[in-house]
Structure 1
Amino acid sequence: MRPSFFNIIIHKDDTFPDLHGVCAGFESRQWRKDQLVDYLFEYLPEFALTYSEFKNLTGENVVAKMRQVVMSIYQSEKFKNRGEFGELLLHAIIRETYKTIPAISKIYYKDGPNEPVKGFDAVHVVVTDDTLELWLGEVKFYNNISQAISHVIEELNQHVNVTYVRNEFIAITNKIDDKWPHADRLKTLLHHHTSLDDVFSNTCIPVLLTYDSTTLAKYDNKCDEYVREISEEFQKFHKVFCDKLGEFPLTIHLFLFPLNTKAELINSLESKLKIWQNL
């Protein structure tokens, strides 16, 4: 079993929403940017393929499928404003921290390689014997935390609108792979005959906000001072988020992820993507 990649600097579950302060960590006196890129690309097949395609990966078709995966993300040079990398980061974080199971691949159903994918940024589930908990993710892959908070709260308020939710459930249902083991349970949960009260009682929203961190930029190792200062930063931004959000009917898990910097990280992601596109 592989060890966890992310460093959970702070986890406060006695608040609503709860708080996960997450960092990529350091290695050889540098923020682990390149290691983070490599780690995220390990999730690309699961992130971008349908359940059936992912399960049918073999030694004979894996190179062709990986080429399909990276080509499906996008080929545009206007990558700096695109959200796929943020969605991939959210996918990896909730898979690792809560052992969620991806329900659909949004990337697989893109209309074209340069078309953005609308709707929830992740559709995962957590399965128990009694319930199927629905995880509908939101990401703001930003360099500015104030803008990230403001914009995500606008979307969160939209996502509890009955008409919006019903339309999204139709879109999700149409994308569920029938061979996925939990397909029937999720289709039943999302069916229009099922009361939204019952759906929402088994739904949570993981929210991932990234930002360029002045605290992270000051350090090159996980010393006590860094942990103390970045924890204070996390709690400050968590309070701003909670104050702006106010009352909200669904459970929210807030993940804050500091970057050093978004521009450098996205350039590394883009360079890796281009290499894989030429496999």
Structure 2
Amino acid sequence: MRHHFGALPVVPKIFYKQNVQDNAKGADSVHIVADGEDFTLWFGEAKFYNSIADARLDAVVTSVINSLSTDKLKKENAIITSVSDLDDLPIATELRTKIKAALDNRESIDNLKPKIHIPILILHECATTSGTKDLTDAYKAEIIAFHKERAEAYYLKQIAKSGGIHKYSDITFHIILFPVPSKTKIVDAFVQVVAFYKGQL
């Protein structure tokens, strides 16, 4: 997010979980992109699946649509303004004041929607990637074609379920598909690293 979009992290949810077994509530991460005297607000979704078949996409769509309810967005805004992260961002004081005013609970969410971006990161197990040793042009072409088809399928599903979201078209969505050869190996390696560092405490 920082390197590609210039986004500044505001609420890394992993640090605000109530217990170690808990999932992050609402957006998985919250970022702000400063653009001169204005800003955009990024509510990130992140998923890790063993495939991106239609059934999996349905689950992502449901999660994203649910996150866009007025109540959910107001709760996210309340979290942003209640923690100190926003005050620590390297932005102008005037812009920080403008952001806090826009996120005020008394402000209409509709006014904020043109500033909202939803990046949707989906890591997924991929047989093509698993069977590839080199980053060849043929491999890249196959993955690009596959991801374009899956992205189109995703957006069609999301649009079909967006009828209840007022000013849905004002919100900007970004789908980021990331193929990996094996979900199990990555999860196992992550668990081992976490266990190691927990043992150091």
Query: TM exceeds 0.5?
Result: yes
| Identity percentage of aligned residues | 24
Where has structure 1 moved over 4 Å in runs of 4 or more?
Answer: none
For residue 63 of structure 2, give the secondary structure of its aligned residue in structure 1: helix
Deviation at 1:236, TM superposition (A): 1.4
Structure 2 stretches lacking a partner, 5+ long: 163-167
**Counterpart contact for 1:153–1:245, Cα < 8 Å:** yes
The residue aligned with 2:114 is 201
Q: Please report the TM-score for the alignment, with normalisation by the length of structure 1.
A: 0.62
Pairwise CA distance, 1:244: 0.8
Distance 1:178 1:120, change over 3 A: closer
TM-score (structure 2 length as normaliser): 0.84
Match of 1:268 in 2: 189
Query: What's the CA shift for 1:178?
Result: 5.9
Question: Compared with structure 1, are the counterparts of its residues 186 and 148 closer, same or farther at alpha carbon in structure 2 (3 Å cutoff)?
Answer: farther
Q: 1:256 aligns with which of 168, 171, 177?
A: 177
Query: Among 201, 204, 226, which residue is 2:139 paired with?
Result: 226
The structural deviation recorded for 1:220 is 0.8
Aligned length: 186
Asked if the contact 2:117/2:172 (under 8 Å) is kept, the reply is yes
Q: 1:119 aligned to 2:37?
A: no
Tell me the amino acid that sits aligned with residue 56 of structure 2: A
Q: CA deviation at 1:103?
A: 0.7
1:230-261 deviations in whole A, cap 9, x for unaligned? 11111111111122112643100110011111
1:149, 1:209 within 8 Å by CA — same for their partners in 2? no
Aligned to 1:191: 104
The offset of 1:277, in angstroms, is 2.6
1:143–1:176 Cα change, 3 Å: farther
Code of the residue aligned with 1:130 in structure 2: it is E
Structure 1, unaligned runs of 5 or more: 1-93
**Cα distance, 1:188 vs. partner?**
1.8
Seen in structure 2, the aligned counterparts of structure 1 residues 259 and 178 have a Cα distance that, compared at 3 Å, is: closer
- Say if 2:12 and 2:28, in contact at 8 Å, map to a contact too: no
1:239 partnered with 2:152: yes
